[in-house]
Amino acid sequence: MINAYYEDRCLLITGGTGFLGLALIVKVLRDLPQVRKVYALLRSRTRADGQVVCARERLQQEVLEGEAFASFRAADPKGFARARQKVVAVGGDISLPDLGIDPSQRQELLEEVDTIFTIAATVVFDDPLDDSIRLNTHGPLALLQLAHDSSRDVDFIHVSTAYVNGQRAGRVPEEQLPMDRDIRQLVASGANGGFDPQVEIADCESFCRRLYKEAAGEPRGREFRRAALAQTGNRELTDARLQQLIEDRRKRWLARGLIDEGRRRAKDHGWNDVYTFTKAMAEQMLVKKRKNTALVIVRPSIIESGLQEPAPGWITGLKVMDPLVAAYGKGVMPDFPGRRDLIIDLIPVDIVVNATLAAATQATSREVSVFQVASSTENPVRLSTLFDNVRAHFLQYPLRDRDGRAPSLRQWSYSGLRKFKLLFRLRYLYPLRLQEWIFNRLPAAIVSEQRRRIVATLKIRLQRVLHYTDLYAPYTIRQCAFETRRTRSLFKALPPEERKVFNMDVKRIDWPTYVRDVHVPGLRRYVIKDVDGAALFPQAGEESEEDLAANRQIEES
C-alpha cells in the first residue's frame, strides 16, 4: 500500500531543516528507496558573520550531515550514499511571491513533482500577526498554486495541527473545520456565525499595514525620540546613536502591537494563540481553493522526540512542553498550573512521520481527507504521569551547576491557573519587587553591583515563568481528546510487513518509560546542550555567578 504508492514518485517537501520535515526526509530516504527524487525547499540563511548559506549548503550541512542521519550513515554507508543523490535542494521561501524559486527550477518542479508535503511553518505561539499569516496561511496557498500550475496530478499533503480545534472540549472529531464559523461560534451554538477566513485574513493584513504606517509616522517618531533620550538621561548622543535608539524603540513597539493583536484575534475567535489561528485559516482556505487537487490534511497533536526513529529521543529544539521540562530540571520552574488528571496529548515524531506518509496514499480529488495523529483517545498520558517521570529522571540524573550542585526539585501542586498566579506572585514576585524597591533607595555603596545583577537576573527568570504560564496554560488546563478513527483504520489496513516499518500504533507506547528513559535523555543530548542562557537558562556548568545565585534564591523561597 505505502510501498506501491511511492513507486517512482517525486516528492517536494517544505520545512526540511525543521523537526518534522527533517524526520520525514530521513524516513523517505531510508525506507522508501523506490522514490525517484526528493526536492527540499529551503531558504538561504545568513550567519552571524554576514556569510550567506545557500539552500544547497544547508541541505548538506544541516540535513544530510546532521544528527538525524547519523544512524543511517553508520548502519548502511552505501545505501546512504545512494539515497543522498536523490535529494535536490530548491532555493526558495514560502513567504515570497512564486515561493521565491528560480523560474527554471520552478518549471522543473511543475514537470516532475507528484506529491507535495507542506510542513514549513512558524511554530511560535506569540509570533507577530503578519509573520504568522505570511508563513502559516499564505505559504501553503502558494504551494497549492504550484500544484494547480503543474502538468501532473499532484497530491497535496498539508501538515496542520490538532489544535486548530482551538477551545473545543471533550471528544474532538476527525473532520474538516467548517468554512462559515470560527471556533467560538462552533462551541457556542454550532450555527453559521458569518465567519469568512478570507475576509478575516484581509482584515488582519489591513490592521498590520495601519500599524506599520503609524510606527513610521511623525507623532510616534517624536514619542520614540523622547523615550530614547529619557533612557539615556538626556545626555548628548551622536545622531547615529540617537537614531539607532529610536529605531529600536520603533521595532519593539511595532512587534508588541502585532503580537498583541494576533493574540487578541485568536482568542476572540476561539483559538488558543496566533499559531493555531493562522493554521486553522490555512486549512479553511486550502479547502476553499483546492479545485480538483487531491488534498489530505494531517493534524498531529504535540509532537515530541522520536520513539525509535531517526533515533530514540532524537529532537531538535524545545517543543511545547519542553521549556517547562528543561526549566524544571534546572530548578527554575518550581510549579505549573494544571490538573493532575489532565491529558497531555503527546505524540512521538516517528509516529507522525509514518502517519503522514500513509495518509498520502488516501489522496483523492473527490474529497478532502483529514487524519488526526494523537494519543489522547487510545493511550492517554496524564500530567501527573509526565511530571512524575520527568522528576524521577532529574532526581536520578540531576542537571548540576558548575559547582556540582544539584537543584532542589519541588513537587508540583497541580493548582488552577488563578491560584497558581496568586501564589507565585505572593511567594516570588512581590518579595522581589520589595527588595528591588529597597535597593533603589539605598546608596550604591551599600548594595553591591553583583547583588543588583542577581535581583535583575531573578526578575527575568520569574517573568519568564509567567510568560510560559500564559503561553502554555491553554494546553494544560482544557480537557479534550482528539478522535483518530481514520488514522487507526489506515494503520490496520496496511499489510503486516508495512505495519512493522511504518508504526502508527500509539498503544505500544509505554509513557513512563518514554518520558523518563527516552524523551528527557533526548532533550539533554540533542537540545539542552545548545540552549542559550538568554532564551531559557545557561547550560549546566556554564552559569554566571548571578545565574547561580538566582537559582538558589528560587530554590530557597
* pLDDT exceeds 50 at position 543: no
**How far is residue 400's CA from residue 406's CA, in Å, rounded to a whole number?**
5
Mean pLDDT, rounded, for 203-209: 98
* pLDDT exceeds 60 at position 537: no
* pLDDT exceeds 90 at position 417: no
Backbone region of residue 150 per phi and psi (left: phi > 0; alpha: psi in -120 to 50; beta: other values): beta
Mean pLDDT, rounded, for 244-262: 96
Instruction: Supply angle C-alpha 490, 492, 493, rounded to 5.
Output: 65
Question: What's the pLDDT score for residue 39?
Answer: 98
Q: Are 511 and 381 in contact (CB under 8 A)?
A: yes
Range with lowest mean pLDDT among 223-227, 293-297, 325-329: 325-329
Instruction: Tell me the per-residue pLDDT of 341-375, one tens digit each, with 9 for 90 and over.
Output: 889 999 999 999 999 999 999 999 999 999 999 99
Mean pLDDT, rounded, for 29-54: 94
**How far is residue 405's CA from residue 341's CA, in Å, rounded to a whole number?**
33
Mean pLDDT, rounded, for 20-47: 97
Range with lowest mean pLDDT among 115-129, 175-189, 281-295, 428-442: 428-442
Question: What's the pLDDT score for residue 437?
Answer: 80
Instruction: Tell me the per-residue pLDDT of 273-314, one tens digit each, with 9 for 90 and over.
Output: 999 999 999 999 999 999 999 999 999 999 999 999 999 999
Range with lowest mean pLDDT among 9-13, 364-368, 453-457: 453-457
Mean pLDDT, rounded, for 72-95: 96
Mean pLDDT, rounded, for 468-483: 80
Question: What's the pLDDT score for residue 432?
Answer: 80
The two beta strands, 87-91 and 170-172, are unpaired
- Percent pLDDT > 90 in the chain is 68
Question: What's the pLDDT score for residue 540?
Answer: 38
**How far is residue 39's CA from residue 107's CA, in Å, rounded to a whole number?**
13
Q: What DSSP state is assigned to residue 343?
A: B
Question: What's the pLDDT score for residue 429?
Answer: 80
**How far is residue 276's CA from residue 279's CA, in Å, rounded to a whole number?**
5
Question: What's the pLDDT score for residue 191?
Answer: 61
Closest Cα to residue 166, out of 265, 279, 270?
270
Question: What's the pLDDT score for residue 415?
Answer: 80
Mean pLDDT, rounded, for 466-478: 75
User: Is the C-alpha dihedral spanning 363, 111, 118, 501 positive or negative?
Assistant: positive
Mean pLDDT, rounded, for 491-510: 97
**How far is residue 328's CA from residue 391's CA, in Å, rounded to a whole number?**
8
Question: What's the pLDDT score for residue 519?
Answer: 96
Instruction: Tell me the per-residue pLDDT of 97-138, one tens digit each, with 9 for 90 and over.
Output: 999 999 999 999 999 999 999 999 998 889 999 999 999 999
How confident is residue 332, by pLDDT bands cut at 50, 70 and 90? confident
| Cβ atoms < 10 Å from Cβ of 370 | 22
Question: What's the pLDDT score for residue 434?
Answer: 84
Residue with the bigger pLDDT between 10 and 433: it is 10
- Percent pLDDT > 70 in the chain is 93
Q: For the chain, give every domain's residue range.
A: 319-343+382-479+533-556
Cβ neighbours for 37, distance < 8 A, ≥ 6 positions apart: 10, 11, 86, 87, 88, 112
Q: Are 144 and 289 in contact (CB under 8 A)?
A: yes
Residue with the bigger pLDDT between 6 and 413: it is 6
φ, ψ for residue 382, nearest 5 deg = -90, 155
Cα Dmax for the chain: 77
Question: What's the pLDDT score for residue 405?
Answer: 87
* pLDDT exceeds 50 at position 492: yes
* pLDDT exceeds 50 at position 550: no
**How far is residue 61's CA from residue 69's CA, in Å, rounded to a whole number?**
11
Question: What's the pLDDT score for residue 237?
Answer: 78
* pLDDT exceeds 50 at position 536: no
- What mean pLDDT is reported for the chain? 89
Question: What's the pLDDT score for residue 162?
Answer: 97
